[in-house]
Structure 1
C-alpha cells in the first residue's frame, strides 16, 4: 500500500461505487524528506512571527499550514 500526501482536492463516489479522485497535488509519502518538512515548518513559523503586512502573514500562514499537514501525514 502506497500512502500519498494530497495537498487539496475532492472525491466523488458514484452510485455504482466507482470513485473519482481529483487532486491538485499528490506525492507518495516515502518521497517526502521529514527533515526538510521540519526545516520548512520552522522557517515559515519564523516568517509568520515577523510578518508585517497582510500579504506576508497570509503567505507565511499557508507555508505553516502545508508543512504542518505534511508533518502530520509523516508522523501519523
Structure 2
C-alpha cells in the first residue's frame, strides 16, 4: 500500500514585537501574540533587530519576525 503524498501551502508574513526588556522577549511577544490569531504556526525567523532610543538610553527593543503558517483557502 503506497503512502498518499500530502501537499501543503504555507503563507509567510512579517510582524514586529516589542519589549522594554530584551530582543528575545520582543520576538517571543510577537510569536505568542500572533499565535492567538493564526493557526498552525510552523517557523519563526528573526529578520531584523532594532531599538528605540530616548535621551541616549534604550527604551524599547524591537524584533521583526517572519512567520510561516499553514494556508487554508
Q: TM-score, normalised by structure 1?
A: 0.26
Greater length-normalized contact order (CA 8 Å, ≥ 6 residues apart): 2
Q: TM-score, normalised by structure 2?
A: 0.27
